[in-house]
Structure 1
Amino acid sequence: MRKPFARSLSTLVTRACLPLVLAVAAPFASATVVTFDDLGDDGLVPANYAGLDWSASSWFQYGGEQAPYTPHSGDRRATLGFDGSSATSAIGFLTPSTFQGAWFAGFDGVNVGIDLYFAGSLVASTSLLTLSDSPAFLGSGYAGLVDRLVFRSNDPAFFVMDDLTFAAVPEPASGALALGGLAVAALVIRRRKAAGHVNANTTATDTTTA
């Protein structure tokens, strides 16, 4: 049979952990979708846009109808342009993130794939997606952290990208500190409870003796 103190401590720990668990899980449940639709004028994607670093790339975003370069949502999408290549396709993450994928469209026969990097090492590569004028989703198939994407294609000038989706992951230190603080608080409460039981027993003994 569990003692009342054990039950109360367990309840306290559960109630204290719940907000922390929800806070850690929130970034995974709330992914960022890069639509380009909040950029009013055609032009290069800004160097720091939507939590990503585009400064080393040639990505150009634009609006308006232009088959077969169909946006997946809204009116805007991004292209590497006629002078684009894998070398000018790199997109960096401002914080380590999980990358879910993006939507692509382009000329028939053009294909696109994505290489995922973390800390300078290649950690995963997607399969090649063959394109058409109907946007198709290319998933990363990788659940680990990434900090850079590099795109590869048999014809980099003839495809567009839309609705790139990722989720930034919080610094692990913040969660560790919170859990450490929770453990200390639980220890203090346990010691206070134990001290209270000792005092109560001592008082009862003194009364019986008297």
Structure 2
Amino acid sequence: MRLLASLSTATLLALPLAGHALTSIDDAKGDFLATFAGSSASTDLDVLSASVTYAPGTDLFTLTATMDGVIGSTATGLYVWGVNRGAGTAGFAGIGINGVRFDRVIILRPDGTGTIGGVGALPAGSVTLSGKTITATVSGSLLPSTGFANMFDYTWNLWPRDGAFAGTAAISDFAPNNANFTTSPVPEPATGAMLLGGLGLVALLGRRRQSNS
């Protein structure tokens, strides 16, 4: 019995930890940049969390961000994702942001459209809105490597903008503040089955222990 319990625990510990802190970020509420020319009332431009996953089977990145306010509250709002595919540079070094490195940008709009800089428009339906969350799916074919060995090495940063202003004064927030975060793998169905099976075994062992005590 103890051996089975130990094995099930070991199985759970061996599962991939996709979506944990390394591969997604939480951002402080109300941390608008001092250089932002817009209003602190634009809560839909204040990032609370962001994550990027990649599914090799479908060759799709999924970019997800949740704001402090409902997406579209600021009519001129934009959501700019910077991705470093291997040749990223510190495009904001002039304002002291040296850790945000990118070599391509993806722009999402509250009207459900999006574009990739230097490539063109995202296909219709790529961008979805749900309250305070904006999500986009992007084909990996549109983001070819510029040096990294695989797409799980790509890193990201999100900076919302108020399009009513120009230059860096339009940027409300960096998420993370002065760094990039990494891509997370989408858990395979087999991994999910292993997890459910392991949890079920643990629960069964717990019930048996209760009935034997």
TM-score normalised according to structure 1 size: 0.32
Higher Rg of the two aligned structures? 1
Q: Which has the higher contact order (CA 8 A, sep 6+)?
A: 2
Q: Which has the higher helix share?
A: 1
